[in-house]
Amino acid sequence: MRTSRLKKLASALVIAVLMIGVLGVANFALELKGTKSNIVWTNFEQSEDLDMVYIGTSVAASSFNPNLIDAEYGSNSANMASPLQKIEETYLGIQSAYERFCVKRVVMTLDFTTLQLSETPNLGSAYLTQRGRVVGPTQYLASTAWLIADKGAAGVPGSINMAFPWISNHPTWKDGIGGIKRNVETKLDGSTVAQAVEAMEPGWTYFGKGYGNKYAQLDYDSKDVALFGELEKIETLSFEEAAIEGVREICAYCAERDIELIVVNVPIPVFNIHGYGQFYVDSQQAVATLLGDMGVAYYDFAYAKPELLQLEPADFYDNQHLNAVGADKFSTAFVTFMGMLDAGQNTDGLFYTPEEYLATIDYVSAVKASATSAEDGIHITGNAFAGSGVEVEYQMFARPVASDQWQLVRDYAPSNEAIWNPDARGTYDIRVNVRARGSDVDYDHFNTAEVIY
């Protein structure tokens, strides 16, 4: 009887050990070495002194170039922002920066989508995992216990999956085996974390101090041009109570430790602002009001006047993020702005009001095409993004997907809708051209879409 029990126990132990081995191999092969979060925390670990950090989501990660800012402003700063960073992660980042370096100033971006997210961070996220490795298990547990106990974090599958960091942090499956192979190579060939990110994300360059970016430029006529991410689905200005509480805690944490907290909104492509119209204005106002109630100022650089910041459409690499050139322009403007703040100068004059800003845009920034199938044919719609004083006209084309010959559906006219009745059922490409009314160019911008009829 006893032997049988011992045998069972031994076999259970063997299975457990083997399982740990399998999961260990999976973790080695699949947990990404090259992540932005790893960059942030490796830089954090290697830094000897910091007095200012930039923190927030990917828009902060791709906007603040600490090398440029430090050189011109004389600071010693680091970029601690990461993609999709949650408020709680921002809090922990600030806390770590203060505990280790006693930073004096925190520059945080706060896009209002972050305030509309109810999800607490995934405990296995790359940001928290890498932070845990840098600060050590004791400090990790001491500083993160409240989060581990949080219903939103501990009551979801991600809480168990934190034991398997590769689940939330693995090579994109689109790359197939190639992605895994590259990841393993970066772990075996002595690559730095920065080199690992560059290997995993071609086109991205690391500039140091936690900051990296791309030189790529957004193609405004691409099919992928869209109002950024989830925003398209967001129709209310209500913020999640948990997110507001998170912001409040960050404000309180900074106030108690005499850390200067500056919250900014970084610029997004003009068409995005046009696309959201009054909603964008209202949402920014709502963020400003929220922060104002907490005694923190909010600066929206999307409304910056040319004397502070003049961006070109080519300064973005996608629908939301500045590229390396745009980030340098923005960082330079930020230095100017900080200088004025330090000198106690009034910075209000550096920013337009929303109405003033929209009136300055005198061109078509993009167009979005869409099509739906109905009994009477395909309904084609174009939605141009243009300045408030710009009148536009649309031209529509269509073709079967297999064809390379566009067929004119309707020539330029102010109406943004047309109906096209194809000869046969099938899948069709449609194209909408847009230009300022009265212009004689072929088009200012175009956009395509696919529809089944």
Contact residues for other proteins (CB under 8 A)?
A: 8, 11, 14-15, 18-19, 22-23, 26, 30, 123, 148, 151, 154-162, 164, 166-168, 170, 173, 372-375, 401, 425-427, 450-453
Burial class (CB in 10 A: 0-12, 13-18, 19+), 218: buried
If the CB atoms of residues 142 and 401 are measured against other proteins, the closer one turns out to be 401
Give bridge partners of residue 78 from the DSSP assignment: 53
Minimum Å distance from CB 453 to other proteins? 6
Look up residue 55 and give its two tokens. 């923190």
Q: What is the largest CA-CA distance in the chain?
A: 95
Q: Cβ neighbours of residue 163 under 8 Å, at least 6 residues apart?
A: 124
If the CB atoms of residues 343 and 374 are measured against other proteins, the closer one turns out to be 374
If the CB atoms of residues 102 and 452 are measured against other proteins, the closer one turns out to be 452
Query: At residue 295, what is the residue type?
Result: G
Residues 208, 166, 157, CA angle at the centre, nearest 5°? 125
**From CA 22, how far away is CA 409, in angstroms rounded?**
59
Minimum Å distance from CB 199 to other proteins? 20
Minimum Å distance from CB 381 to other proteins? 15
**From CA 370, how far away is CA 25, in angstroms rounded?**
46
**From CA 266, how far away is CA 202, in angstroms rounded?**
24
Minimum Å distance from CB 143 to other proteins? 17
Minimum Å distance from CB 8 to other proteins? 7
If the CB atoms of residues 243 and 290 are measured against other proteins, the closer one turns out to be 243
Minimum Å distance from CB 318 to other proteins? 18
| CB 8, CB 170: distance < 8 Å | no
If the CB atoms of residues 49 and 376 are measured against other proteins, the closer one turns out to be 376
If the CB atoms of residues 86 and 170 are measured against other proteins, the closer one turns out to be 170
Minimum Å distance from CB 387 to other proteins? 32
| CB 113, CB 233: distance < 8 Å | no
Look up residue 68 and give its two tokens. 């440029």
Side by side, which strands form the sheet with 427-436? Answer: 407-413, 392-400, 427-436, 445-452
If the CB atoms of residues 393 and 429 are measured against other proteins, the closer one turns out to be 429
